[in-house]
Every structure is written in C-alpha cells, then in structure tokens.
Amino acid sequence: MSKQPYQRTGEIAFSKIEKVNSELFTLTYGALVAQLMKDFDDVDQVNAQLEKMGYNIGQRLIDEFLAKSNITRCSDFKETAEIIAKVGFKMFLGVIADVANWNQEGTEFSLLLGDTPLTDFVELPENCSKLYYSNILSGVIRGSLEMVNMRVETKFVRCTLQGDDVSEIRVTLKEMLTDEYPDED
C-alpha cells in the first residue's frame, strides 16, 4: 500500500482540529527555549529539559490524536512510523515528515523534517552550537507512544538550525508494553 492514504488521513485530521496562529506558536516556543537557556548552565540540560516537557505533552496529546485522527491501531512498527510522519506531524504542526534509514531488524527509523513551525525564522546565537532546539518533539513522540504501549528512545541527530540539510529524529523501539491492571486492594 502506498503512503497516500496516510497523507489524506493527516489532511482530514488537520482540517478537523482547533487551531491557532502558527507564528504565535513559534514565538511562544522561542520564549520557552530562551527561558531554559537562561535557567540552565549547559545546553545538554536544556536539551534534556525540552525532551522532558515534550514527554509530558505527548502523554496528553495522544488523546487528541486518537479522538481526531480516525486511527485506532497500528499493525506494526513500520505502520507506526508512517502514521507519526504523515498523520501526527500533519495534525499537530501542519507539516509532514519522511520516514527513512530503517535498521535491518525494523526496530529503528529516522524521521526527516524540513522547516517546521517550531523553527520558522529562528536563528541560534553562538552559544547554542549543541542545542537541539526542537528537542521537545523527541519527547512528544516518546510520551505519546508510551501511552499506546510502545516504549521508545528518541534522539535528535541532525538539525537544520545547526546547518544540516534536514532535521533527523532517530526513533528506537525498546519494548512493546502490555496493559497492566494492578490490583486495587
């Protein structure tokens, strides 16, 4: 099956959701990153903090995704990758990503991104050479997938704001979780 159906699903989902102005979002996110750069001594900590914030956001966004995307389950991790790229990114940011660089086992892939509303017109000052400015996205992916029983690791490996051609987020499946129903007594 081609990728087309997912693109169409993404477009329909994007048309259904509530929206705000993209530039307001860009500037608000910029204020958040700038605040963290003030708060923390080093860029690694800022990257980690952005990821953590994204993780919390992803755990909540998954509800919106399931409610509005018309997607109920993924048959495998390959399908998951396409749905993140073509439906998830479209639905939340209005852009799509490409899936590439699968490992042989089918447990690792990359999401390739051009400019997004996070990075529009952003230029990094000199002290940000190790900053993964959009690292909140790594967290959003990890947090939302965990809510649908996929424990993944996510990692920015390239970023257009650092001069790379594309931004690349590496996603590694660590474990398929099973639902647990703890005793409540």
Q: Could you list the residues that contact a copy of itself (CB under 8 A)? A: 14, 17-25, 27-29, 31-32, 35-36, 39, 53, 56-57, 60-61, 64, 91-94, 117, 136
Which CB, 111 or 173, lies closer to a copy of itself? 111
* Inter-axis angle of helices 136-147 and 43-68, nearest 10: 40
Strand pairing class (108-113; 150-158): unpaired
- In order, the DSSP letters of 96-134 are --EEE---TTS-EEEEEE---TTTTT----GGGTT--TT
- Calculate the alpha carbon distances from 110 to 39, 117, 142, 178 in Å: 30, 20, 14, 25
- Shortest distance, position 170 Cβ to a copy of itself, whole Å: 22
- Shortest distance, position 146 Cβ to a copy of itself, whole Å: 16
Which CB, 61 or 173, lies closer to a copy of itself? 61
Q: What are the two backbone dihedrals, phi and then psi, of residue 17, each rounded to the nearest 5 degrees?
A: -80, 160
- Shortest distance, position 12 Cβ to a copy of itself, whole Å: 14
Dihedral angle over CA of 106, 170, 167, 54, nearest 10? 130
- Shortest distance, position 64 Cβ to a copy of itself, whole Å: 5
Which CB, 67 or 157, lies closer to a copy of itself? 67
Which CB, 33 or 152, lies closer to a copy of itself? 33
The two structure tokens encoding residue 60: 């909540």
- Shortest distance, position 151 Cβ to a copy of itself, whole Å: 21
Which CB, 117 or 162, lies closer to a copy of itself? 117
Q: What are the two backbone dihedrals, phi and then psi, of residue 156, each rounded to the nearest 5 degrees?
A: -70, 130
